[in-house]
């Protein structure tokens, strides 16, 4: 039995606890999916360790909230903080569930690789070759998030695993880099690292006996459902935090509607997987598929729990808004000026994520809230709500106001 850490009260600001919980839970999701996709036990073990840290933070936050509540009015103001913290803890638990798939040797069906290629945000794992332009440069000077919408989430260097590397970390020859980003940016990053062909070839050799090309057509619906489950559950997280930051019942209601959609879709997904003709040697991989579907529903439920704070009329505590705003991944809103280069372009054409590292979550047009699609055309006066790393926030503002964007001024 694992020995649990004894929790003792420490006077840590609630804002600091919330920021760390939010940052860690989002990092854990990325690491967990990477661990599953690349069958990486070190990444999976790192997720489990981070889960213990988030659990400890959740206890400390509850203690701090109890100490701070002096009367019923304080309790009402702080309950939203506790609910959001509990939901964030659930998200970290979901990440640990993904990691467990790897640690128990359950594995994932090869269709998962196909599914990840179709998702809005892609994961990759490449080796930095000796002739790569990345080698010898620090992450901060490369500005990958702003220039191509790519974020490095882990570096494997010999036996050392560097999780969530800082801007001062220098890329060295032979580093195995795990990164995430928009498909176009990921492909560009893979070319810079010059390792993606070999990585994919290893996957092809591994699954050759399962006839991936034949599987592709018969599993098309399963792949599409898994893509929608993952993308929707992560969209819900961002919209839920946005609803708190902007105290928006419209966004909170959108989260609740999406949660119902995920519940129904997850049921269809499980039925579809269970009704396939499964060979004995494939049974573990199908179990991994089912568990991955369960995880997406857990994330969706946690997002709905966050949105519930707004829908119940609880005024989001200022510390809650500050924590969301100051986290590594922030939520922001910008107004599109008439002179902006974005006006008249669809989101697909604008390539906002590739140029700023920010995802557009919702569009406010007059009194109407729009959940954007790739073909949604941006108009002057639109308010764009977006999430991403803080360094991309200013770049998005420049695009929306027609200031020159630094993406066009330099290349790595």
Condensed to tens digits (0 to 9), the pLDDT of residues 178-226 reads 888 777 778 888 888 874 444 444 444 444 444 444 445 557 788 888 8
Residues 76 and 96 both lie in one domain: yes
Helices and strands per DSSP (H, E), number in the chain: 16, 8
pLDDT at residue 188 in the model: 82
| pTM more than 0.85 | no
Domain stop point among 297, 321, 345: 321
- 3-class DSSP string for 115-146: HHHHCCCEEEEEECCCCCCCCCCEHHHHCHHH
Residues 170 and 101 both lie in one domain: no
Q: How confident is the model at residue 360 (pLDDT cuts 50, 70, 90)?
A: confident
Residue bearing tokens 């036990």 = 41
Residue 5 lies in a domain: no
pLDDT at residue 312 in the model: 87
368 forms beta bridges with 365
| Mean pLDDT on 324-345 | 85
Give per-residue burial for 126-143: e unless 16+ CB within 10 Å, then b: bbbbeebbbbeeebeebb
CA distance 231 to 215: 22
- Each as own residue / partner, the long-range contacts of residues 195-201 (CB below 8 Å, 24 or more positions apart, any chain) are 195/126, 195/127, 195/128, 195/129, 196/124, 196/126, 198/127, 199/124, 199/125, 199/126, 199/127
pLDDT at residue 218 in the model: 56
Residue 223 lies in a domain: yes
Average pLDDT, the chain: 81
Residues 286 and 139 both lie in one domain: no
Q: Are 332 and 393 spatial neighbours (Cβ–Cβ below 8 Å)?
A: yes
Condensed to tens digits (0 to 9), the pLDDT of residues 386-402 reads 887 777 788 888 888 87
Residues 138 and 269 both lie in one domain: no
Residue 103 lies in a domain: yes
Condensed to tens digits (0 to 9), the pLDDT of residues 246-299 reads 888 888 888 999 999 999 999 999 888 888 766 666 677 778 888 888 999 999
Residue 114 lies in a domain: no
Residues 103 and 233 both lie in one domain: yes
Residue 4 lies in a domain: no
Overall number of domains in the chain: 3
Residues 273 and 313 both lie in one domain: yes
| Mean pLDDT on 111-139 | 78
Give every CB contact of residue 212 below 8 A, 6+ residues apart in sequence. Answer: 110, 114, 204
Does the pLDDT at position 406 exceed 60? no
CA distance 291 to 293: 5
Residues 96 and 135 both lie in one domain: no
- Minimal CA–CA distance to 101: which of 153, 26, 34, 162? 34
pLDDT at residue 118 in the model: 62
Range of the domain at 370: 329-408
DSSP-derived 3-state class of residue 211: coil
Residue 313 lies in a domain: yes
Does the pLDDT at position 31 exceed 70? yes
| DSSP-based helix, strand, coil % in the chain, nearest 5 | 60, 15, 25
| Mean pLDDT on 1-27 | 79
Residues 203 and 249 both lie in one domain: no
Residues 128 and 101 both lie in one domain: no
Domain stop point among 267, 298, 321: 321
Q: Are 168 and 140 spatial neighbours (Cβ–Cβ below 8 Å)?
A: yes
Residue 7 lies in a domain: no
Residues 131 and 104 both lie in one domain: no
| Mean pLDDT on 345-365 | 83
CA distance 95 to 89: 10
Residue bearing tokens 């070999």 = 198
Q: How confident is the model at residue 321 (pLDDT cuts 50, 70, 90)?
A: confident
pLDDT at residue 365 in the model: 87
pLDDT at residue 275 in the model: 81
Phi, psi of 380 (to 5 degrees): -60, 135
Condensed to tens digits (0 to 9), the pLDDT of residues 70-94 reads 777 777 778 888 899 999 999 999 9
Q: Are 354 and 182 spatial neighbours (Cβ–Cβ below 8 Å)?
A: yes
pLDDT at residue 378 in the model: 92
Residues 127 and 102 both lie in one domain: no
| CATH number of the domain to which 191 belongs | 3.30.70.1450
Residue 3 lies in a domain: no
Residues 313 and 228 both lie in one domain: yes
Share of residues in the chain with pLDDT > 90 (%): 17
Domain stop point among 149, 176, 209: 209
CA distance 305 to 50: 22
Two structure tokens written together for 389 = 């790393």
């Amino acid at each position: 039995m694992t020995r649990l850490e004894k929790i003792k009260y420490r006077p840590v600001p609630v804002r600091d606890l919330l920021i760390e919980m939010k940052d860690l839970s989002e990092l854990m999701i990325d690491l967990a999916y990477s661990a599953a996709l690349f069958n990486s036990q070190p990444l999976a073990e790192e997720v489990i360790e981070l889960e213990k840290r988030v659990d400890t933070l959740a206890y400390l936050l509850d203690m701090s909230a109890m100490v701070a509540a002096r009367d019923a009015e304080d309790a009402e103001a702080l309950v939203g903080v506790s609910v959001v913290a509990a939901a964030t803890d659930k998200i970290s638990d979901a990440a640990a569930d993904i990691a467990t798939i790897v640690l128990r040797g359950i594995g994932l069906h090869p269709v998962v690789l196909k599914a990840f290629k179709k998702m809005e945000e892609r994961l990759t794992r490449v080796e930095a070759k000796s002739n790569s332009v990345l080698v010898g440069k620090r992450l901060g000077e490369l500005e990958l998030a702003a220039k191509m919408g790519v974020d490095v989430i882990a570096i494997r260097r010999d036996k050392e695993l560097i999780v969530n590397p800082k801007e001062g970390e220098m890329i060295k020859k032979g580093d195995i880099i795990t990164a995430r980003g928009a498909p176009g940016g990921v492909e560009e990053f893979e070319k810079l690292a010059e390792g993606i062909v070999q990585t994919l070839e290893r996957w092809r050799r591994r699954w050759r006996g399962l006839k991936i090309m034949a599987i592709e057509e018969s599993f098309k619906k399963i792949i599409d459902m898994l893509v929608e489950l993952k993308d929707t559950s992560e969209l819900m997280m961002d919209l839920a935090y946005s609803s708190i930051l902007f105290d928006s019942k419209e966004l909170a209601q959108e989260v609740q509607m999406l949660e119902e959609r995920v519940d129904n879709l997850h049921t269809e997904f499980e039925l579809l997987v269970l009704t396939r003709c499964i060979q004995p040697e494939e049974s573990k991989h199908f179990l991994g598929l089912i568990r991955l579907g369960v995880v997406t529903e857990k994330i969706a439920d946690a997002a709905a729990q966050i949105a519930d704070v707004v829908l119940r009329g609880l005024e989001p505590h200022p510390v809650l808004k500050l924590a969301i705003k100051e986290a590594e991944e922030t939520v922001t809103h910008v107004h599109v000026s008439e002179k902006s280069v974005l006006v008249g372009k669809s989101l697909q054409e604008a390539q906002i994520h590739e140029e700023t590292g920010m995802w557009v979550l919702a569009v406010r047009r007059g009194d109407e809230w729009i959940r954007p699609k790739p073909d949604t055309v941006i108009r002057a006066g639109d308010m764009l709500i977006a999430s991403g790393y803080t360094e991309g926030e200013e770049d998005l503002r420049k695009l929306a106001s027609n200031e020159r964007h630094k993406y066009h001024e330099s290349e790595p």
